Structure 1
């Protein structure tokens, strides 16, 4: 399979990681976030299949440091408690208090229906297909975190932007530098479950989105 040209990679990269999220935030209702995510997942799998030398089977070979995963979970919990109690105290622990069954369902499904597709798009596709045009060193990690944060622009919240940027740095480091997709996925899944359980859905839930226009 012939490697794609640098020009094609650049066009794809800007379209997927810049134009698409900005257009979605401005033009598309937040309620269609998940259909859009799965549409992009289909495109991602196709592009990865077109990427010379890449196989999805290789993703699950990385080792997981559960200490790192739990540490990120603890940081996520601490940040969530501070933000909720200071800015939206009525939302603290609300999902579990309002509907324990629904929260349990979210905790079970979020890793597979949200964290896994996002990691395939924002870590695997980003680094495996677009590696030739991605800067090395810290700049590459920062760029990855930035586009991950930009993809959450649909929520129109500086809190969401800041948390996803910080999380993106951690996930990107696990994927690129530690060569562990399973670790990045586990971090993302645990952090997301913790955020929702503690009430961060006050900002991460599409029905709560308030656009600036």
Structure 2
């Protein structure tokens, strides 16, 4: 657990947290420019990596349990999509296979990795002193809330649930690799089974 630096009061850390994790998503939503979103994601990921680079690497353990959990939750999500939204099911790989393959290749690196740095390693390293045991819940809530930029409840609900899983994994292992792989598995599944449209700013911002 990271201790507060001299001069950093709990009030300051609270204010900083609210600005970064509540204010910035609202700013992105107000501006609605993809360039701003990517700047915040990649620039913010780099800044958070630099700010938390001294955090010791954890030990990635529990792969079998994580994969078993993914198989169970992934199967349930796939079945629910097939039953409740058959028109969306597998729409991306069936109708745009090259774009789907590109997402499978680039999404873990360009989206998952910076998000895990921001919402897991940096958030835990910086704010666990003020949130304590509630940091897992705070990470999940911040992660879900950030997806208000997509202007639909499904994006928020899915990422809230996913954020809880990823935050728990990170809290248990302190391994960015472990939580990142888990995040990538669920994210790639979401795009594959047809729910990716809920995570597309082009559809949300041009209505």
TM-score, length of structure 1 as denominator length: 0.83
Residue 148 of structure 1 pairs with residue 150 of structure 2? no
User: Structure 2 vs 1, CA of residues 65 and 150 (structure 1 numbering), >3 Å: closer, same or farther?
Assistant: same
Which has the larger displacement, 119-128 or 70-79?
Answer: 70-79
8 Å Cα contact 1:84-1:199 kept in structure 2: no
1:80 Cα deviation after fit: 4.4
- In structure 2, the partner of 1:71 is 69
8 Å Cα contact 1:69-1:183 kept in structure 2: no
User: Structure 2 vs 1, CA of residues 84 and 159 (structure 1 numbering), >3 Å: closer, same or farther?
Assistant: farther
- In structure 2, the partner of 1:26 is 30
Q: Comparing both chains, which one has the higher relative contact order based on Cα–Cα distances under 8 Å and sequence gaps of 6 or more? A: 1
- In structure 2, the partner of 1:116 is 113
Task: Structure 2 unaligned segments of length 5 or more: list them.
Answer: none
Which has the larger displacement, 103-112 or 201-210?
Answer: 201-210
CA distance in 2, matches of 1:185, 1:135: 22
CA distance in 2, matches of 1:192, 1:15: 26
8 Å Cα contact 2:59-2:173 kept in structure 1: no
- In structure 2, the partner of 1:45 is 49
CA distance in 1, matches of 2:82, 2:149: 20
TM-score, length of structure 2 as denominator length: 0.86
90, 95, 100: which one aligns with 2:97: 100
8 Å Cα contact 1:145-1:169 kept in structure 2: yes
1:191-206 matches, within 5 Å, as: 191-206=186-201
How much is the aligned-residue C-alpha RMSD, in angstroms?
Answer: 2.4
Structure 1 moving runs of 4+ over 4 Å? none
1:74 Cα deviation after fit: 4.1
Which has the larger displacement, 172-181 or 143-152?
Answer: 172-181
1:130-179 per-residue CA deviation (whole Å, 9 max, x = no partner) reads: 1111131xx32221111100111101111111111111111111111333
Task: Structure 1 unaligned segments of length 5 or more: list them.
Answer: none
User: Structure 2 vs 1, CA of residues 14 and 211 (structure 1 numbering), >3 Å: closer, same or farther?
Assistant: farther
